[in-house]
Amino acid sequence: MIESLDLGMVNWARGQFALTAMYHWIFVPLTLGLSWILAFYHTIYVRTGNEEWKRLTKFWMKLFGINFAIGVATGLILEFEFGTNWANYSWMVGDIFGAPLAIEGIFAFFLEATFFAVMFFGWNRVSKGFHLFATWMVAVGSSLSAVWILVANAWMQYPVGQAFNPETARFEMQNFLEVAFSPYAVNKFTHATSSSMLVGALFVLSISSWYLLRGRHVLMAKRSIVVAATLGIFASVFTIFNGDESAYEIAQVQPMKLAAFEGLWEGEQNAGLVAFGIVNPEKKVYDTRDPFLGFNLHIPRLLGLMANRSLDSYVPGMRDLVYGNPEQDLLGAVQKMDRGKKAVASLEAFKEARKAGDQAAADTHLASFNQYKEFLGYGYLQRPEEAVPPVALSFYAFHIMVGLGTLFPLIFLAYLYFAKKGTLADRKWLLGFGTITYFLALIASQAGWVVAEVGRQPWTIQGLLPVTVARTNLTTATVQTTFYMFLALFTLLLIAEISIMVKQISIGPEEN
């Protein structure tokens, strides 16, 4: 299966997926968050009948529309990239993974696509009530879409409700409800949605702050800020809580990811959480170099508490997870590979026996396969050290995300405080900082995905299917070509999008 492996091709395919996903994620959190904010603004307009609120709603709606179009454009490719660049993956797990994507199409995309047109063009065409309903449906649709794509992604992190079928040589679904309501999926959804509301709120806050600094559209800016910041406070608090819940989930089902983003090489009782540190890039899992360069700050005991919800608990480090730790009763990649190789060999022998028509031998090999099948994926690793994801990237991404995530609620509080006092327009320092907070939110949001996806390496499906097997049989040159095609096209479209946005913001809302 991996004799003819070309690692260069796999890395280019990963790069291409990362590229397209990251471009997509520039636009999606804004769509996801802003759609709800629009629903609130539109509701206020319908309830008060105040034309100022209509102007305000229409303004944010226009920015939403520009962003939505490019979000759709960058999203299309992601669905099909599973097939084009990860064909073996699509076959091996399509029985499970295809379902949420199809459901997303049926129930979420059509809701968005249908009501988007009503929301935009329905001002004089449908009743006020139905129009407002359409705006809410766009928000519901975008969140439903998030539900299903995150169910799919959560399943890649924590593959529940499935079993490997040796007859068809693929993983097959055993329990749909386990897949759909996996605790990992629930957390992923709440975390991604609430953090996207934060992004939406900070988008409004940034642009409104710029208007206040310039003394333009002052009333609209203030109104926009009050609603967005109120929503932002709730979203931030919620994001911190479900972020903590996510970390706990990760510790339970992907301890290697947790160890990597915390830079924890050696397992520890009462491990501390790193508040600040510079990762030693030379450090390998088998050496005794210092994990950090120079000064680093740990908050005592907090990692154990976060990972296991108990103070005296043991958090395994990367070394334990690679080489095993009998004292803690931990299997390492070394031991898992040993069993995985047996699973792979038994599976091949089973197929051979089947082909030869030898039922007795087939049964024996099948029994042996079943004994080791949970380690199947490890059978395809070459070296145990491959089980460690890129540490520095995971570490910095995680700490940037957490650092910024703690800052955001303070910003919202400050805005609300000064807005209530009526002195917001005079706080130039706050407004100045406020204008860049949207970009900080985007960085935090992207960093979150880096933690989730880079931290899962070398797996496409945690523990079951490494990226080296999941690939399509393509030449490196082919994938490089499409990589650069996407890079060029998406960059061009991004430049056009930013330029149009800047112009629309500088024009501001329509005059009466």
Partner 1 sequence: MIENLDYATLQHLWWLLCSVVGALFLFLTFVQGGQSLLWQVAKTQTEKDLVINSLGRKWELTFTTLVLFGGALFASFPKFYSTSFGGAYWVWMLILFSFIVQAVSYEFRRKPWNVLGSLVYEGFLLINGTVGILLIGAAVGTFYTGANFQLDGNNFVTWTHPYRGLEAALSPSVSSIFNIALGLFLVFNARTLGAMYLVNNIDLNEAADMGTRLRAACWQNFLISLPFLLLILGSILFMRGYGIVDDAGTVEIISFKFLRNLVANPWLILLLAGGLALVIAGVWKTARTSETGGIWYGGLGTVLVGLTVLLLPAYNLTAFYPSKADPQSSLTIYNASSSPYTLKVMTYVALGIPFVLAYIAYVWWAMGRSKITIEDTGDRTAY
- Site residues (CB under 8 A) for partner 1, limited to 471-490: 472-474, 478, 482, 485, 489
Quick note: the x/- pattern for partner 1 over 360-389, rule CB under 8 A, is: ------------------------------
Under rule CB under 8 A, residue 166 binds partner 1: no
The residue among 168 and 406 lying less far from partner 1, judged by its C-beta, is 168
Q: Which run of H or E residues covers position 291?
A: none
Stretch of 107-115, 184-192, 229-237, 457-465 contacting partner 1, by CB under 8 A: 107-115
Does residue 90 bind partner 1 (CB under 8 A)? Answer: yes
Residue 426 interacts with partner 1 (CB under 8 A)?
no
Q: Which amino acid is at 3?
A: E
Q: How far is the CB of 81 from partner 1 (least distance, A)?
A: 9
DSSP 143-202: HHHHHHHHHHHHHHHS--SEEEETTTTEEEES-HHHHHT-HHHHHHHHHHHHHHHHHHHH
Torsion of CA 56, 60, 66, 70, to 10 degrees: -170
Output the smallest distance, CB 150 to partner 1, in A: 16
Can residue 300 be called a binding residue for partner 1 (CB under 8 A)? no
437 is a site residue for partner 1 (CB under 8 A):
no
In Å, how far are 61, 201, 268, 344, 381 from 55, measured between CA atoms?
Answer: 10, 18, 57, 64, 58
Region from 47-55, 124-132, 184-192, 391-399 binding partner 1, contact rule CB under 8 A: 124-132
CB contact at 8 A, 508 and 219: no
Total of residues contacting partner 1 (CB under 8 A): 85
Closer to partner 1 by Cβ: residue 249 or 497 = 497
Smallest separation, CB 149 to partner 1 (Å)? 11
Q: Does 495 bind partner 1 (CB under 8 A)?
A: yes
Which residue in the set 218, 361, 413, 493 belongs to the binding site for partner 1 (CB under 8 A)?
493
- Record the tokens describing residue 469, joined without a space: 């097997």
Tell me the residue type at 169: A
With binding defined as CB under 8 A, does residue 497 bind partner 1? yes
Should residue 295 be labelled a site residue for partner 1 when binding is judged by CB under 8 A?
no
CB atoms within 10 A of CB 417: 14
Instruction: Work out which of 43, 84, 280, 476 binds partner 1, going by CB under 8 A.
Output: 84
* Residues 326-365 as x/- pattern, contact with partner 1 by CB under 8 A: -------------------------x--------------
What is the number of alpha carbons within 13 Å of residue 412 lying toward its C-beta? 29
Task: Name which of 172 and 268 has its Cβ closer to partner 1.
Answer: 172
- The tokens of 231 are what? 């929503």
Q: Is 129 in the site for partner 1 (CB under 8 A)?
A: no
133 forms part of the interface with partner 1 (CB under 8 A) = no
Residue from 109, 238, 323, 417 touching partner 1 (CB under 8 A): that is 109
- Long-range contacts of residues 284-292, Cβ cutoff 8 Å, at least 24 apart: 284/385, 285/318, 285/319, 285/322, 285/385, 285/388, 286/319, 286/322, 286/385, 291/263, 291/264, 291/265, 292/263
Smallest distance, partner 1 to C-beta of residue 367, A:
21
Nearer to partner 1 by Cβ, of 410 and 495: the residue is 495
| Residue closer to partner 1, measured from CB, 73 or 293 | 73
Is residue 462 within 8 Å of residue 468, measured between CB atoms?
no
Q: Which of 99, 139, 201, 467 binds partner 1 (CB under 8 A)?
A: 99
Q: Under the phi-then-psi rule, with left for phi > 0, alpha for psi from -120 to 50, and beta for the rest, what region is 169?
A: left
Residue 115 binding partner 1, by CB under 8 A = yes
**Under DSSP, is residue 315 helix (H, G, I), strand (E, B) or coil?**
strand
For position 390 contacting partner 1 by CB under 8 A, the verdict is: no
Three-class SS of 355-376: HHCCHHHHHHHHHHHHHHHHHH
Map residue 273 onto helix, strand or coil.
strand
Which residue has 């080489």 as its token pair? 323
Any idea what the Cα angle at residue 403 is, between residues 397 and 407, rounded to 5°? 140
Residues of this chain, 172-231, that bind partner 1 according to CB under 8 A: 172-174, 176
- Rank residues 407 and 489 by Cβ distance to partner 1 and give the closer one: 489
Among residues 11, 50, 51, 106, the one that binds partner 1 under rule CB under 8 A: 106
Q: Alpha-carbon distance 37 to 262, whole Å? A: 35
Least separation in angstroms between residue 137's CB and partner 1 is 9
